[in-house]
A and B are shown apart, each in its own frame.
Chain A
Amino acid sequence: DTEVTQTPKHLVMGMTNKKSLKCEQHMGHRAMYWYKQKAKKPPELMFVYSYEKLSINESVPSRFSPECPNSSLLNLHLHALQPEDSALYLCASRSPRGDSYNEQFFGPGTRLTVL
């Protein structure tokens, strides 16, 4: 299994809602990432988890709250978002060893719209 899955595919939420994005991988990867991608722009890193511990937070507003319950699962909890937070949210995982040591595999993303 060489796949990163993300749910939901699409999400529409109001500014007062609380929602969560989910990411899952079963490749044994121990590093997982959240990226945000606006239209016609490259992905921008938000968070990195390494061995289930948060290792990088790119000064992301607290309305985004990541969680890594176990080595296969990564969540992004959303609360009181703004319309400018509308974007494609991408999850990625990185292989830990061997020739593919550095490869990051991306999921298909969650298209988020904040009304």
Chain B
Amino acid sequence: AQSVTQLGSHVSVSEGALVLLRCNYSSSVPPYLFWYVQYPNQGLQLLLKYTSAATLVKGINGFEAEFKKSETSFHLTKPSAHMSDAAEYFCAVISDSNYQLIWGAGTKLIIKP
């Protein structure tokens, strides 16, 4: 069965430091992958998506993600963290059986001043 694994339920970085949030997926077909962000007590906002075009995908708020087929990964990065990046981040893949989203458990990003 397909799955999405996000390593680390909590990630803490200093303001100005590199942000790296990890996402690994399993899929028997070329995957379609998404990253969403959720601020406290709000809905989810789409950050970026991979749809088999360029392997490096740029999103909103300075985030980008690189699709690596050999590693079955779609890690999210940002060169310099801001306090406003503190939120929970979810990775998801479209199921190849029913086309619904399969979600990772989420990673809470904590920014230290």
Partners in one complex: no
* Chain A interface residues (CB < 8 Å from chain B): none
